[in-house]
Each structure stands twice: as C-alpha cells, then as structure tokens.
Structure 1
Amino acid sequence: MVNYLLLKFALFKEFFLIELLSKYLEFLKKEGSHFDLPIALSILYHKKDIDLREFLVLGELGLDGKLKDTNTIFPIILSLKPKKVIIPLESAGKVSKIPGIEIYAFSHIKEFEEFAPKKSEKSELNYDSININGKKYYYLNEFKEDFKDVIGQNEAKEAALISAAGFHNILFEGSPGVGKSMIINRMKYILPPMSLEEILEVEKYNSLEGKEVTFKPVRPYRAPHYSSTKAAIFGGGSRGAKIGEIAFANKGILFFDELPYFQKDVLENLRLPLQDKKVLISRVNSKIEYETDILFAAAMNPCPCGNLLSPLKECRCTDLEIRRYKNRISEPLYDRIEIYHQMIEDDSKDTISSKEMFEKVLTAFEMQKGKFNANLEENYQFDLENEAYDILNKAKRNFALSKRSEFNLLKVAKTIANLDKRDKIKKVDLLKALKYRKR
C-alpha cells in the first residue's frame, strides 16, 4: 500500500524531492504544477521495475490524490508531439484531437498501484468542412455581426473581401464614423476555413492564455489598444519569454485601430514579423520563436482632428500637423500593407451579406488549394494575359514600383482572379489591384 501522506508531503517539499531523486535527476527547479504527476511516479516507482521512458507524463496532483488538468499540458504535448502520453482524464478530451498520439488517461493516483494503462479513444471535429486534395478544412456558418449592417461602403467591403480571401494586410483611412472599424470587425466571420493543424495551433495559445479550449474553427481576432507597450504586442518579460498579442493573433487578424497613435517602436518592430511570419523573444534564460502568420488590419484618420476627408466638417489641422501625423508610419511599413482604401461618407443602399462574402472566400480558398496568396514565395511565377502585362509595365514606370510593391500587387491581383474562379490574371484584375494600392 502506498503511503499517500508521505507522497503529498514530498510533492510540496522540494528539498526532500531533490534528496530522494538526486541519484536519478540533475538539479532543476520545478516550475508548473504539470510536473506533479511525473515527480510522484518517480517516487512511487524508483525502486520498482517499471520503465516509463516511452511516455511523456504530465499532470497536476491534488491533495486528495486526484489528477487535474492544467493550461500547459495541451500546448506542451502539441509542441513536443510524443508517441505516448500519461495524463489526467480531464486533459484527455483536448489531447485526443492531436493526431498520432497514444493517450493513457487516469483520474487518481491510486490507479497507478497496478499499472495497467487504458488507451483513450480519439475524437473527431464535428463542423462543416471542405475537402481540398484529401485534406479537411473546417468552418462555422455563424455571422454574429453581418456586413448587411454596414450602409454603403461597397468598395471598402470589396477591399475587405479581397483581404480576407488572400489573407492580405489591409489599411482603411477615413473620417470618424465612416465604418472603418465596423468593417474590420466583421472580417473575422468571413476568414477562410481552418485545417486541424491550424485549429490545434490556435488552441495551444488559447490554453496558454488560460482560455477555454473549444476546438471551434474560428480564427483569432486581437485588437490591442494603441497605448499597449512593445512587450504586450511582441511578448517579453523579465524572467521568461512570455507570449504577446502578435503571436496570439497567429492564423487570424491583428487589428490596430488609430494606427499612427501606436508607439513608434511598436510600429517599426512590426515590419519583420509581417515579412518573416515569426517573432523571436530572447531573454537571459530563454529564447523562444513564435509563428506570426497574421492578417494585419489597421484603421486611421486622415488627420489628427479626423475631418480632412469629411464633406460636412471642417478640418482644423495645419499642414505641418498632418505631415507629422502621417509620418509616424514609415514607408517600409506601408510597403508591407497590400490593400489600402480611403473611405468617405457613403449612403448608398446596395449591400452584401457576410454569408455571400464567405461563399466567395470559400471559392477563392479552393482556388488557392488551401493556402493563401499573401504567403506565396518570391519566386512564384504568375500567369498573366498580355494586356495585364502591359498594365503592369506601365504601373512599374509610372509609380516606380519596388520589387516588393510589384510582388504585392500581383498577389492581390491573383486573389481577385481567384474570387472570379480564375488563376490567370486579367487586365481588370490588375487594374482593381492598382485601385487598392497605397500611392
């Protein structure tokens, strides 16, 4: 019979554990309650002929001997991808979504007296899906905020549709009240479907943040305030490398409202994550790289008072104030934003619903074979009609396009063609892409 009082005492007395396990482990301070179970099993089995080296063991141990889930168990297993795991029964539902792992789940420490692990069954996702080249992509048909609520602004909605379909970065400029934030808030409901790997990746970060893990195929949407610090956006911390907003937005939208009011070093440090799709956090004790495959969306006023483009209100700003306001955003950052649209008041009645827009996104997503045009490699060979080549050459001469600007223009044009169920870029596609380019 196991002496549970001694075991509980050992778990809460690190000096006792170190003395007991010194023959087997190097000195390493325990951080996180998910190490309770492996330490407990080391104590229970250190004199028995039981080899647990083929298992990854994680779990919190309560004072009553019950095994509990923690926020870190799911992300650790997803990152390490071991072949076999021993975990609390509470964790099995989440971990069972990860393919290729044998799960042995227990609810109480007593169950280890006679070690006979029972494999947990795998569970499947039960959502609408499309199949592309034998791979499933899941989505929700839910539109809590609908584009039908946005009066007019049909060009802005078209820009949002192109952005969502190809995962292109987008910037809206316009006076307060024209619908910039309203449109971007609705973009999260028309984003493309998600693969199982993407869903697991998103839930890994949700678990680290302490959120409930639901495995819904919903891409993240993060909208930090412009007063947020550099560490809050990119991650940091004095001891460990903690995750920031840009990593929490991975596979989804990162929205900066009032873009010029964000700290200058935040805006400048955005350039590499937007280009390389990753952010590196370096600290004395740790160095962690996070994926940042995001759709960067931003909104800004045309001037500090916001009335420069308004036909009804008078702008109170001087030319110097307007220049200073806009110069807070550097050209290299502008160069990484593929779609730009200047919005003015629009009372037109023609509108489109989120459901209709999402169906168009699905069409483009299938044309892209489950990938995003925004992530095309630099050596990708675009298929252009002769008239489109002529327009491209004229644009290169007239606008002095850099290589990045030309590449971004072609990526957007390809998405426009995909929305029309085509791969070949026509003249009309390139002209529309030029319309949504920052000049």
Structure 2
Amino acid sequence: MKRLRSATLEGLDAHPVDVETTFTKGLPGFQIVGLGSAAIQESKERVKAALLSGGFAFPPLRITVSLSPSDLQKNGSHFDLPIALSIALQNDETNLDGLFFFGELGLDGTLKETQAIFPLLLSLKNRGLVEKAMVPAASLERLSLIPGIEYIGVETLEEAIKVCKKEAEPRRVAPAPIPGQRLSVGGADYWYLADYPEDFAEVRGQEVAKRAALIAAAGMHNLLMEGSPGCGKSMIAKRLRHILPPMRLDEILQATQYAILGDEEPAFRPLRPYRSPHHSASKPSIFGGGSGNTPKIGEVALAHLGILFFDEFPHFQKSVLEALREPLQDHRVHISRVGAKVAYETRFLFVAAQNPCPCGNLLSTTHPCRCTELEIKRYKNRISDPLLDRIELYVQMQEPSPDDAPTLTSAQMHEAVIAAFARQMERGQSQPNGKLDEKGIDTYCALSDEADAVLRKAVVNFGLSHRAVANAKKVARTVADLAGSERIEKAHLLEALSFRRRS
C-alpha cells in the first residue's frame, strides 16, 4: 500500500489527508472512498488519462484509493496529483514522508494550479504541519511568499514521478519580492504602496472631514459621515484605502487567503481590501453563510485588515445593522451550520455614510427639506445607539463651495499616517490604536493630569458610557501620535471629543 499526504480545507483551517492506494485481486476497477466531493470523484478520469498519456500500464487489478480520515468531507481537484502518484509509485520504495502533494491534472498529464493551494499551505504552515510540498510549477512564484516551506515545482505528472524517484532535480524558485516600499519598525518589516490613483486633493473643502479621515486611517478608527448628497462622503471613503497603514507579510498573506476563499482575485500586494456592499445586500452575503454545509465567506470577512464601507447607512436591513455589532466589537464573526462552525477575523476600519434626512436636504442651504419631523426621527432611529456607540468618529459635512481650494494631498496624509503608525508599533503595540482592547487602552493611552480632568468632566456633562470613554482615549491617542506627542494632552483629548456624536 502506498501512502501520500495532501490536505483539504474546512472553513479557514486545512486538515491533513492521507491518500492511501491498494491493488487487490478482482474485477479491474477504480474506486475512491472517504467522503470525496464530486470534483474528487471526477479525478478518476483525469488521473487515468494522465497516467495513460505517460505510458503507465494499468494492471488487471482493482484499485482502491482511500482518503483518510474517512469521516472528514474532502473537496478540491488538487487531490489529482497525490492520487496519480500513489498509483504510479505503488511498487517504488522511495521515502516520501513529510512531503505534501497538491495539483490538478490535465488529460495530457500537465499539472495545473488551483486557487485552493495557497490557503491550504498557508493554514498548514501557520499550524506547523508542513515543511515540504510538491506543487505545480506555475504556482511557485506566489506560493514562495509563504516563508518556511521548501517547494518542489513540477510541470507534468511524468516530471513529478521522476522527481519522486530521484531521477530528476526539482525546480526551485527564490521568494517573490513584495511590491511597494518597506518600513522597518521595532525589528519587524512592513510594506505599503505610495500610489494614489484617487487623491484627496480632488476633495475640495471639507477640512474637518479630511481631518477625521486622517485620524481614522492613522488609528484604524470607525468613521461615520453625515451630509447632503454630493458633498463628498463617498469620495473620502474611496480615497481612505490608499492612505491606510503599512502591512506585515502575514497580514498580506491573510488578506490574500480571505480573497481566495471569497472567490476574489488575489492581490499579493500591500494594498488593504476595500468592500462596499449595496444596502440591499442580504445578511448571508455580508456576514457569510449559505445553504450548504460549508459556510461561505462574507463581506465583513473580506474587508478584514481593510475598509468596510456602508453607503446609505440607514437603508441597510435592520437585521444586518444589529448583526454588525459583533464584528465591530469582538473583531470576529461566527458562522454555524449543521456540518460546520467557522470563525473569521474581522479587524477592519468601518466607514459609514448617511444623509441627514430621507430627502437629504436637511443641512442644505440651497434646497429646502421636504421631510417631516416624524420622518426624520424614524430615519435616524433605524440605527441603534449600541451600534453608533461602536463608531469612534462622527463628522457632519457641509455643502461644497466652488471657491473651495484643494489642500492636503493623499501623499501628505499617507506620510502622516505612516509616521503615526510607526510610533504605535515602536511602543510595542500589536494592533493600531483603534483596535486596542481594554488592557491595551490602560497600557498605551495614558492621559496627562489636565487631560484626565477634562475627561472626567465630559463623563459627567455628556453621560459618556464606558465604551464611549474608551473610544475617546483611543482617538486621543491617535491625535497625539499625529502630533508626535508621547502623552495624551488636553488639546488631543478635546479634539477627540469634538468628533463625538451628539444625540
């Protein structure tokens, strides 16, 4: 019996699978057992055609391929290579222990890459389960971004057989360079792109909103913008993506993994994701799920490490808005199905935009508002206070004027963000200010005596909740970082409180 190793995905986690093959007496046949999906069952025909094209002669015996553990559902066409090799190397004594095999076979024996290989190897590496893997040569460049794995790249099944028999040298490739610029802080490396296809210089006026956007980007703080239609809310949200903090290699890999699981085109570059679902989107499409036993990834997980933008905020379904509280607070979303339970990380910057009233003209100086007080109240009541309490920055935008001149550019704002981010990492933080937990707030958000006195007065005068106090400290910490201050002073706290939403 020949045994080779591969793996299958269950949610985010890869589970090792032993591919065991035996030849037994009986009517010639080919059977795959072990809860293989339709793609795995179809691999029988691909494997047979690939082996025959390479000159392999099937013995007049019954071939049984077992995918172990047999009680785990397996998916993916990447099982073609280990199945074919377990048959072709049945009588070979080469030791292949510790080597994982991935790849889809063409009918002519060529090896094709599949999107599942990257998240599989990344998960196996994070769990310390893989050191060597045989993969399609076409996958080597992108897979080389995952450090600590020795890759063997092959183009055909015939080449794979020769490499396993040590009759040919494996292909090797140097790690692919990460595009963009590198920043070294505290012994760790971060990457970012100094590319601004959409520039803040195009947003005229709105200096308060730009300042709020700068603070939001520097500390990854949630932001709510309210203003009349056409005042620039969506423009600011789209430009935020290009001034976000640099990314570590593991963050680039994780964002790529999530994109692949969401059937998105992987970027493999230090550009944080940007997701903007329509307000009519269903709850499963935003939070993940689906009708099958394998939950699909949703928008909140695809936005992990980047931006989730809700335009027309109050028009989202009430169930969606209330369910948003969990990923904003716990930075995780849990999906439960009969056959699986999956948890995705959701550490994103949440940006929301809304009109001040149903017609949008409540703040306008040129267009009269057509809404009644009751309609405005119902409109604003669609968003609950507990949800609003999780948004640190609120800005009310004014109508733009033709006389407004462009001021800050994205390049200038990004430079300030990077400097503030570097200060956060130099303090030993593992997360930006906006994602600090209670312990992190106590450790890194120390107030001066004067700032502490101001905060105590604000708690009494405005009735701030415990979460509101924590939010004010985190925003003030970012304001202080932008100013280059080691401590949070009175001026920093006052600016943070100025972005507090008033009822």
TM bracket (short chain): over 0.9
Alignment deviations for residues 235-274 of structure 1 (CA, whole Å, 9 cap, x no partner): 1111111011111111000000000000111100000111
Cross-structure match for 2:35: none
| CA distance, structure 1, for counterparts of residue 285 and residue 478 of structure 2 | 33
Partner residue in 1 for 2:305: 251
Higher relative contact order (CA 8 A, sep 6+): 1
**What displacement does 1:20 show?**
2.4
**Please, which of 51, 56, 63 is the counterpart of residue 100 of structure 2?**
56
Q: Which of 393, 396, 406 is equivalent to 1:339? A: 393
Kept in 2, the 8 Å contact 1:367–1:422? The answer is: no
Letter in 1 for 2:273: P
From 238, 241, 244, the counterpart of 1:188: 241
Deviates more, 1:256-265 or 1:195-204: 195-204
* Higher deviation after alignment, 378-387 or 398-407: 378-387
Q: In structure 2, do the counterparts of structure 1 residues 318 and 214 end up closer, same or farther at CA, with 3 Å as the change threshold?
A: closer
Note if contact 1:55-1:83 (Cα within 8 Å) is conserved in structure 2. Answer: yes
**Residue 431 of structure 2: aligned partner:** 371
Q: What is the DSSP-based 3-state SS (H/G/I as helix, E as strand, rest coil) of the residue aligned with 1:157?
A: helix
In 2, Cα distance between equivalents of 1:234 and 1:295: 16
Residue in structure 2 matched with residue 3 of structure 1 by the alignment: none
> What are the superposed Cα offsets for residues 186-241 of structure 1, whole Å, 9 maximum, x if unpaired?
11110011111111111112223444434211000000100000010011111111
Q: Contact between 2:179 and 2:269, CA under 8 Å: does it hold in 1?
A: no
Task: State the one-letter code of the partner of 2:281.
Answer: S
1:154 equivalent to 2:214? Answer: no
- Aligned residue for 1:266? 320
Aligned to 1:177: 230
Query: For residue 55 of structure 1, what is the amino acid of its counterpart?
Result: L
State whether residues 150 and 182 of structure 1, in contact with CA within 8 Å, keep that contact through their aligned partners in structure 2. Answer: yes
Deviation, structure 1 residue 428: 0.7
Q: Could you tell me which of 298, 314, 324 is aligned with 2:352? A: 298
Cα separation, 1, equivalents of 2:433 and 2:228: 30
2:88 maps to 1:44: yes
> Structure 1 residue 43: deviation in Å?
1.8
- From 367, 382, 389, give the equivalent of 1:328: 382
Indicate the residue corresponding to 2:472 in structure 1.
409
The residue identity in structure 1 corresponding to 2:433 is: N
The DSSP-based 3-state class of the residue aligned with 2:153 is: strand
1:20 paired with 2:63, answer yes
Does the C-alpha gap of structure 1 residues 285 and 53 become closer, same or farther in structure 2, counting only changes over 3 Å? Answer: farther
Contact 2:335 / 2:341 at 8 angstroms: preserved in 1? yes
Kindly provide the CA deviation profile for residues 114-145 of structure 1, in whole angstroms up to 9, marking residues without a partner as x. Answer: 22362443333242111001111101111111
Q: C-alpha distance in 1, partners of 2:330/2:69?
A: 37
Identical residues among aligned pairs (%): 49
Tell me what 1:438 maps to: 501
Per the alignment, residue 76 of structure 1 pairs with 120
Is 2:262–2:298's contact at 8 Å kept on the other side of the alignment? no
- Partners in 1 of 2:66 and 2:422 — Cα distance? 57
What one-letter code is carried by the residue in structure 1 that aligns with 2:365?
A: P
Equivalent of 2:198, from 124, 145, 158?
145
Q: Is residue 2:78 matched to residue 1:34?
A: yes
* Paired residues of 1:154 and 1:350 also in contact (CA < 8 A): no
Letter in 1 for 2:448: E
* Contact residue 365 and residue 371 of structure 1 kept, 8 A: no
Q: 4+ runs of 1 displaced by more than 4 Å?
A: 6-10, 22-30
Which runs of 5 or more residues in structure 2 are unaligned?
Answer: 1-29, 32-39, 49-61
Q: Check if 1:11 corresponds to 2:64.
A: no
Please tell me whether the aligned partners of residues 385 and 425 of structure 1 are also in contact (alpha carbons under 8 angstroms): yes
Q: Could you tell me how far apart the structure 1 residues matched to 2:330 and 2:261 are?
A: 23
- Please give the root-mean-square deviation of Cα atoms over the aligned residues, in Å: 2.3
Query: C-alpha separation between the residues in 1 aligned to 2:182 and 2:67?
Result: 49
Check if 1:228 corresponds to 2:271.
no
Distance change (3 Å), C-alpha of 1:101 and 1:43: same
Contact preservation (8 Å) 1:59, 1:87: yes
Which of 381-390 and 418-427 deviates more? 381-390
Alignment partners' CA distance in 2, 1:214 and 1:76: 17
Moved more, 373-382 or 294-303: 373-382
1:87 is paired with a residue whose SS is strand
Contact persistence 1:190–1:354 (CA under 8 A)? yes
State the shift of 1:287 in Å: 1.5
Instruction: String of CA shifts for 1:79-106, please: whole Å, max 9, x gaps.
Output: 1112111111111111100111111111
CA–CA distance in 2 between the matches of 1:425 and 1:40?
A: 63
Q: Retained in 1: the 8 A contact 2:262–2:296? A: no
CA deviations on 1:369-389 (whole Å, 9 max, x unpaired) are 173001212023222122111
Q: Are the equivalent residues in 1 in contact too, given 2:201–2:410 (CA < 8 A)?
A: yes
Q: 1:197 aligns with which of 242, 247, 250?
A: 250
Between the two proteins, the alignment pairs up a number of residues equal to 433
